[in-house]
Structure 1
Amino acid sequence: MTSHSKKDRLIMAGLFIAIIATLLISLNMGTMRVTPAEVFQTLIGNGSEQNQLILFDFRLPRMIIALLIGAGMGISGAILQSVTHNELADPGILGINSGAGFAVVLFIYLTHNNPVSTVFVLPLTALVGAVLAAVLIYSISWKNGVTPIRLILVGIGINAAFSALIIVFQLRMDPDNFTQATIWLSGNISGTDWSYTLALLPWILILLPFTIYKASTLDALNLGDETAQGLGAAVEKERMLLLLAAVALAGASVSVGGAIAFLGLVTPHLARKLVGVRHRHSLITTALLGALLLLAADTIGRNILSPSEIPVGLVVSLLGGGYFVYLLMKS
């Protein structure tokens, strides 16, 4: 094992330990404080009914969802940055998030906030919107193949179009529906439970290993289409498969957590700074960073103005927006 590989593994181990530490801190914090001793007693089955309710029904599912969404959005951004050869690409900029957001806003507008249908259908609606946006982007970009620059330019245009449609339908909503749509669009994982976790988990468990398996293909695509073809990669086929994986990861994540911006942009950059550009290690690091950042952002959002909450998407936007400005100034 080379010293570089040892360093990468130490970084990944450090991120994993940081996630565990943040989980333990987050379990203690909230409107109802639970001491570390009470957390331990509850986790081994000896806690009070109140603490069991707080930890197992409210905090743990929300934290696991934050970890899954963070990893999914981070990996989605890493894929998009590689296949488009653009370090500023992410699901939000390319229109995938806005496609999901438009589908949700349209659904809320048409159903007039029917609580029963919203709980069960909203995640599927967001996923359909994300897939629709991706199909539009890919089909409009196609001209004897798809070039990275055309893909990202069309994605920016689709993003602008869906964002405009979202505003049009929001302006036609009644105040209650407008508030619901605004909270969802800002990125929010409050009110989630184990059913949301189980709905999101299969997507992450299947697509994250698939993406890591395709790490060498992403390395080849990162070198440019001609070089990738010279190395034996079926460029168009691989690009389409990887784009589908990115869309599915982003769509599934957005369907549960709303349109959380900047996460898919920031985490691949940070991962490359920590472990370099080779995807086998950078993808794992990106997933760990995304999980850690979203969990930390949710912990901050839950506690900084307690008992009120700040939607996690706003906290991520504050952190990611600052880093985005830093990137623009450096590049």
Structure 2
Amino acid sequence: MEGVESTAPQTSGSNIASSSSQTIISQTVVENESSLNTSMHAPSTAEQTVANKVPSGQIKSKQQEWTVIEKPKQFPLFFPIAILPGQNPTEKKNHAYRQISDVSGLKSYVIATMKGIKVVKATYETEEQAVKVTQREIVKNNPTRFGKLDGISQSQDNQSQYELRIWDVPLDIEKDLFEQYLHTVGKVVSIKFNLKQLYYEVVVVFADKALEQRFKTEWVLRFCKNIFRVFPSSLTREERNHRFKYVLKLANLPAGTCASDLIPIANETNAKAIFLPKNKFSKNYEKERFAWFYFDSEQGLLNVKDKKFSYNNKGLSFVEKNAITCHICGSPYHRLRG
């Protein structure tokens, strides 16, 4: 209409051109970036050529092919050097070598210290070679052979050390004091307390066998007011069983009696051992009112079976080892006091 001026905004040609130009540039940049990314991750022409010629399965298999070289097995054998003849370690070592030198496969041959034991250590390539060596006599008229470390350790220990098992040790014993006492008995290597029902079994290893003869004839060890039965590990089964064969029960003991109180009776009867057990029904870890006496022979048992003794105004008498006595006062004449 004439005389009316339009107020609506009009887009100029230059603005339209500018907007179109920016859109075209943005699209170009995106396309270029996309092309660049594609070219960076795309395989090269050479790689594509190789990939086309070699199947993918063969490429993977070549990457996974490894030749595993296993560490060769070794078969070490040991012989205690103390047994070997010779004035020094070199002479001892050479003596043992002369007995096994014709066996092939020896990888190393040295003197070593294993678990505190000085040994000759011979290492072989195969088990068959090692077995041959274990069959060789190394020292004339000596059964010791080259062997595994455990066997050599046990053999050496048996030759030099002495093990004693101590029974009837009460749980309330002063361990420190008892251990000090054991060191006065002999040169101690180790002490171990094993729990056995109401008592400890104490395993003591001494450094030498100086005590062996003593405890072949002595069946007990005395400590303060206690008397403990002892069993050397060197005893045969027959010798061990013999110590339980001839037993009598001394009944009607006064309350509070200790094993050491019965020593005069043990001396009078030639008993080899005494055991005054704990009452397994007692809440206060009290002792029974009887004691078992152990003898070396049937005649020794028969000689004292009818003997009677008086101690602390109580009459004591022997009964069969399995005879039932009063569990309150220990009398053999009744089972329960009324």
Superposed pair shares fold, TM > 0.5 = no
Q: TM-score by structure 1 length?
A: 0.22
Q: Hey, which of these two has a bigger chunk of strand by percent?
A: 2
Where relative contact order (Cα < 8 A, 6+ residues apart) is larger, the structure is 1
Q: Which has the larger radius of gyration?
A: 2
Q: TM-score by structure 2 length?
A: 0.22
